[in-house]
Amino acid sequence: MTTEEIIELLKEREADFLKTKTFSQLPGIYAFFYIGNDFPLLGDSISKHQIIYIGKTESSQEKRDSKTHFTTGKTGSSTVRKSIGSILCVKENLTPIPRNESDYSKRRFSHFKFDNASEIKITNWMKNNMALSFYEYPKSKEKIDKLETEIIKQLKPILNIDHKNLKNPYLNQIKQLRKNCASIAFKNSDFKNQNPVKTKTNKTEITKKSLGTFTSGYVFIDNITKSDVKSRNIRIKVENKHLFPEEKSGQPISYSLNFKAGNTDFIAKYTIGSKDGKSRSGVLKLDDSIYQENLKIQIGTSLKISKSKDDKYIIERL
């Protein structure tokens, strides 16, 4: 079947969630439709029965749709719930909270979920305002991903906000709403007061909060953009530069650093410094084979970089 025929089949199979009694046990592509009368914030620009999200599952429709997207408490594992919750946040007085403590220790501040009362509101809204359909496609992960990408590029669903849907007219608006919720979750968090770093001054121990700057032997990278991917760059933000060669005033200086990704050893160029002497981000440049094939870095990819005792840098994809 062609992509166009599969899209038509998805439309023909549209069924209200509340009327759906069984879910497929096979991998495939699923579509979410809006069946309400006035989409929050975007209003009548979103028509009834419009496909607002395309997703894939390599396990089963039941596991991904019924037991994740439409289940209370699963926002941390569902980008659809996260986006819908962000859109409903102000109108429904929802409360964003951190997903878990581990995210904060790894500086994944963009991850969040909602408190239980808010999660229930999100689930009820989805069940009453969304329909779904499914196309069984028991193929390889690569083929499922390719089909999902082709459908997304044709339909441009408003809730698909990753690199596959850069022409989504509401992309920036929805991303900003998610950032707003992430910021609220961070402010409401107690994690930032835990595990402080202790330093000594005049033999007196003082405690410093350390979420903004890490002084450990590793850093986390969560700022990969489209421009970075195009240039094969990893930008080392000011608060992370302590792990790399020291910045010097004047012309930028490039260093050749020894790296390891998995079982692969390689050399990467790190450039730091500015003519005016002002502190700026450093730039780590990787070869195509490492950037694309080994680490498979994309927009939004999270990385961990640590330094071993023999001064070799270890880079991992999270």
Look at residues 187, 203, 237 and tell me which one is the last residue of a structural domain.
187
Whether 61 is in a domain gets the answer: yes
Q: Are 189 and 104 contacting, i.e. CB atoms less than 8 angstroms apart? A: yes
* 260 and 223 fall within a common domain: yes
Which candidate, 33, 35, 111, 34, places its Cα nearest to that of 76? 111
DSSP 254-288: EEEEEEEETTEEEEEEEEE--TT-----EEEE--H
> What integer pLDDT is reported at residue 216 of this predicted model?
40
* pLDDT above 60 (res 58): yes
Q: With CA atoms as reference, report the closest residue to 30 among 2, 1, 3, 7.
A: 7
Same domain, 131 and 272: no
Of 86-100, 164-178, 246-260, least confident by mean pLDDT is 246-260
Q: What CATH number does residue 298 fall under? A: 2.40.330.10
221 and 160 part of one domain: no
Query: Within this chain, do residues 92 and 173 fall inside the same structural domain, yes or no?
Result: yes
Q: Is residue 13 in a domain?
A: yes
Angle at alpha carbon of residue 209, lines to 207 and 213, rounded to 5°: 125
* Residue 290 binned pLDDT confidence (cut-offs 50, 70, 90): very high
Shared-domain flag, residues 124 and 222:
no
Reported as a pLDDT band with limits 50, 70 and 90, residue 101 is: low
> Is 234 found in the same domain as 104?
no
Q: How far apart are CA 126 and CA 134, in angstroms?
A: 17
- Split at pLDDT 50, 70, 90, the class of 311 is confident
Residues 313 and 182 in one domain: no
Q: Is residue 85 part of a domain?
A: yes
pLDDT at 235 over 60: yes
Question: Residue 182: inside a domain, yes or no?
Answer: yes
Q: In the structure, what pLDDT confidence band is assigned to residue 196 with cuts at 50, 70 and 90?
A: very low
Let me know whether 38 and 146 are in one domain.
Answer: yes
Q: Which of 36-45, 133-142, 178-187, 196-205 has the lowest mean pLDDT?
A: 196-205
- Tens digits of per-residue pLDDT, 22-53? 999 999 999 999 999 889 877 677 899 999 99
**Res. 210: pLDDT tops 50:** no
> What are the residues facing 258 on neighbouring strands?
267
Q: CA quadruple 311, 312, 317, 318: dihedral positive or negative?
A: negative
Residues 166 and 295 in one domain: no
| Lowest mean pLDDT across 108-117, 127-136, 306-315 | 108-117
Q: Tell me whether residue 207 is in a domain.
A: no
Range(s) of the domain holding residue 311: 213-317
